[in-house]
Every structure is written in C-alpha cells, then in structure tokens.
Chain A
Amino acid sequence: MTKAERAMRWFVTLPPAAFLLVFFLAPALIVVVASFREPGEFGGLAPFTQPTVEAYAFLLGDLVYAEIFARSFFVATLTTLICLALAYPLAWLIAQSPKKRRDLLVLLVILPFASNFLVRIYAWIILLGPLNLLYTPIAVVLGMVYVHLPFMILPLYANLEKHDAALLEAAQDLGASAWTRFWRVTFPLSLPGIFSGSALVFIPVLGMFAVPELLGGTGDILIGNLIKEQFLDNRDWPLGSALSILLTVLVLALAGVAAWAARRGIKGAEALT
C-alpha cells in the first residue's frame, strides 16, 4: 500500500468514524456514567459524590424486571419468526420474478415508509377496534410484525437475488427433489440474509415503545416502555440508564452468539459450493 493509498483510506474512514464517536460512543458512555450516579431531586442527576451500583442492585434484586426482560425477548423472538415466515417466500418470489418487475416489487415493499409510522399505527387502531383485538398482546405482535416486515424482506431479497441458478440446476441434474434443492442449497446459502434480517427486526423490537403503548392493553409493557417511563415520567435517569445498559449487554451477547452461528452456517454453505 502506497502512502497515498493509506492517506486516502484515512480520509474515507475518518468522517464515519468521527460520526460514530461523537453520536454513538459518547452518548453511550454518558449513559454508562449516569447508570452509576444517583437521581437528582428534580430529575437529572444528583451532584456527583461517588459512584453507586444502587440502580443495578435495585433492578437485579427484583424478579419483576427479569419478567419484563423475558417478556420483551419473547415478543422480539416471536416477531422475528413471524417476519421470517412471511418474508422468506415473498423475498424468494421477488428474486424469481423478471428483472424488470423486481424494482417495482421492491419499491412496493418500501412504499409504506413514505407515510409516517405513527399514522400507520393509528390506522391499525381503527382496524383492530371492531375486531375486538385492540389492546391485546396479539395487537402488539401484529403491529410489531407490520412495522418491521420490510427490514426482513430487503436483506433476504438482496441475498436470494444473488444466488447462482446453475447450482440449483446442478442439484436437479443430480436427482435432488424440489425440497432437497431448497433445504440443501438455497436455504444454507441464504443464511447470511436470514441472520442480518433477523438482527434488523429483533433488536429494534426490543426497544420499541410506541407500538405496545398504542396497541397494547393493561399488561403489555416491554423494556422500551419501562426505559421511557424512567426518563420521562419518573425522572429516574440512573435507573433508566441501568436498564438501557442491561438491555445493550444482553443484545450484544445475543448478537455475538448469532454472529458465531452465522459464521458456522456460512462455512457450512461454503463447504457445499
């Protein structure tokens, strides 16, 4: 690598790196620091004396909070699985359709983004009311799936579209049935798409508070709502920060496991080709 190339590399990576440093890492550090402080009398933080783990002790010493985490992970998992089941055939169909029509179909997938997210959720309130489904857990999952479905379709489509049709032909020549062709060729090759789609759905669902607030009933509280309440209603920043940190740690751990699984899956797929 020449000097010019190296300089160019710095030049290109510096702005995004600086952006992440300022707008992601610094706020994240503030949240970490806040979680070890004491709440101020009128909100905010109390004047600093010494770090305290009180917020964490409060959260970990109580099963109520574990229950909300468990419930949120359940809803996120369920939403991800439903999205996957709905998105996979659709993404496959789009990938199979003639090149000319594909762009139009992808456009249709992202078309809902043209209207505001809250407006679309309010539309669901009108739809679900007469069906007696409003203010139920079903409504929450429905809303979550609806909002996040495009985030599953797009990475899957991007992946499926690139598959080499020759592989399937070869499998067919070798006597593989339709199911075997899918299960032994298409599916393993699409694993990276499945993993990135799942991450794009699972993680935002965990933090989403608007959907349960608007569509959910008296029992449908998720971590997102709990965190929002600490900051806005209860003015307990340290507790809200500690909740955010716990959530981040759990999600990172999960993402680590998923990445590891994905690597293994991709290796398996590579061995196949």
Chain B
Amino acid sequence: MKLGWLALFFWFALAQAEDVLYLYNWNNYIGEETLARFEARCRCRVKQDYYSDNEEMLAKLEAGAEGYDIIVPTGNAVESLIRRGALRPIDKSRLPHFENVKREFRDLWFDPGNRYSVPYATSITLLGYNIEKMRELNLPTDTWALIFEPKYLAKIKGKVTVLNSQRELMAAAMKYLGHSVHTTDIAAWEAAKRLILAAKPYWATFSNSTYIKDLAIGNIWVAHGYSNDMFRARADAQAAGRPFTIGFSTPKEGAVLAVDSFVLHKSGRRPDLAHRFIDFMLEGENAADVSNVIGAGNTNAAAMPYIKPEIAREPAIFPPPEILGRLEMLRDFDPKMRRTLARMWTEIKVR
C-alpha cells in the first residue's frame, strides 16, 4: 500500500516536472478556454507570465530571464531577438497547419521565410471615439485630422487622449503628413513634431492604458490607441449600459500595424511541446479565439469561418486590402536616429 502511494507520488512529480509549457505573453492575449483545450489535448500544463510592452519583455530577457518556451513579440522585437541570436529555429515539419497562415502575413520583413516566427494576431493603432458625440459635433472620424487639426480639436478640447509613446504618436503624425514611418528624413520628423506641438494644447493627456476606462465612462470622446483596447472599451460601455457607443476606425491616411508572432526562446526546455502548442494554435477553430475574445486581427485563413461575422466584418480589425496597403509596421532605428527622435519627443513633452 505504502509503495503504491509512493509510486503515485512519483508519477505526479514526474508528470509535473515533465509537461509544463512556459509561455511569456501579452496581458490578456489568449483565451482561457483555448488554453484549457490545449492542456486537455497535450495532457500538460501551460504557465503564463505577462508583459505589457515589447521593451519590457526585451529588457527582462536581456537581464537574463530564462526558461520561456514561447514568447509573442511584435515584428521589430522579433527582428531584434533574431539578431541577438536569442531564438530557436522553428521546425516547420512539426507544424502541419502552417499552411493556414494567410499569404500576406508570411515572409514578413522581420523574418523572411518564417524561420523563427509564426504569426498569431494583429492590431492597428487607430482612433476610438464616442459615436454620438462625434455625430452631434459633426466631426470626421476617418482621419488623423481629428486629433491634429485645431479646427476640429477646438470642439473637443480636453476630451482627447493620445498614446504616451514617441514611436506611435509621431508615426500617426507622419502618416497624416503623408510620410512613411520608416523615413530618416529629419525635416519630415521635425514637421511631425510641429504638428504635434500645435495640437497638444487641446489634448487632455498622454495615456497608454487609462483611455480604455475613460472612453467607456465618457470622460473622453476621442482616443488614439490600439484596436484591441477600443474593442474592449466598446464592450465595457455596452456592458455598463452607457447611453453612448464607442466606435473605432483606421484613419484613411494609413496607420501603424502590429503583427505579433510566436517565437521559441533558446532557453526554453520543451521545444517539442512548444511546436505542438503553435500547431494547435494554427488550427482554425483555436486561432479564431483571439479575434472573438479580445478583438485582435487574425493572421490565420482557416480561422475566418469560426470568427463571429460582426467581428470579421469590422474593417478596423480586419482591414480590407485598400487599407492594409496603407498600414506600416514599426521598425527600429539606429541609436543615433533614436536619440534624435527622443530629443524631439522630450521637446514635445516640455513645450
């Protein structure tokens, strides 16, 4: 009898020690049911750690964090991890469902040939707004002019927030002025800085997360932010029975697109489980969850039939080709350019 218990104990201990997949993920970026289904299928456990931006994740890895099997970085962070030699190549022979990835999201600039990364989900940095207020004040919602032109801003002074991110805010200004966000033309960036400085007095604050709550409550009427967040603000406002609705759309001048991919970290101990996980997430039904639950765009063609029609129809989540062509992904600049832009950003904050 005693031996039996002991054996059972060891069996448990071994099961625990063996089959755990460590996932380092964005906050709220995978459905709990999706994870439960994977755990049931692989008879293993998934343990998650979270980050709220790429820099935080990179900094933690740089400081020596180890043992993560899978990370979910955005394009420029994938590139950075590849060039640092921090990733394990992906064995596509173990991913029979890789073919489900949409053509337009394969072979992206940060990882030609998808040797290290498998796209998971997308988001767009765009404008969220209080639909009723915009209609009442007769304001356009399909252009960056809404947050940059004083003639519109005058009507919504103190009711606008923009992202507290040099890259994102300056990119929005660059798109409005008709420039690429990749240009190293200092004069163009200076023009973007002047545009921001002229609009700044009308903004309430720079905000990276509080705008979700502020939009849903009605404290602010326009926010520059991420499509997933706007999706949540809309749901929150709806759930609270507010007398208004939150809408969001991609400005016609173009915007920033973020593609988040699964990558395998070199320090991960279970590449076998990690491949199984990625392949599981590539199955249409599982891939659809990220769109249905958190309103992210989907890079998986097989997922589309499983996505709720009202979400699949949302152009701010699934951009039609003519908008997709005007979206750009952020890339890292060299240190010198970064310092120049940081200087402009400081000036934006001070003046």
Contacts and interface: CB of A to CB of B under 8 A. Distances in A.
Contacts of B204: 135, 217-218
Interface string A217-243: 111010001100111111110010000
B339 A58 contact: yes
Nearest to B166: A233
A42 B80 contact: yes
Contact of A135 (B205, B334, B341): B205
Contacts of B338: 39, 234-236
Interface string B59-92: 1001000000000000000001001100000000
A43 B80 CA distance: 10
B342 interface: yes
A62 interface: yes
Interface string B189-203: 000000000001101
A197 interface: no
Contacts of A71: 350
Interface in A186-228: 213-214, 216-219, 221, 225-226
Interface residues of B, number: 34
B62 A44 contact: yes
Interface string B333-351: 0110011011101110111
A67 to B, nearest CB: 5
A64 B58 contact: no
A221 B347 CA distance: 10
Contacts of A43: 55, 58-59, 62
Contacts of B210: 125, 214
A41 interface: yes
Contacts of B28: none
A236 B346 contact: no
A38 interface: yes
B107 interface: no
A40 interface: yes
A133 B337 CA distance: 37
A124 interface: no
A41 B82 CA distance: 13
A89 interface: no
B332 interface: yes
Nearest to B348: A218
Contacts of B346: 64-65, 68, 221, 226
5 contacts: A39-B338, A41-B332, A42-B83, A42-B84, A221-B346
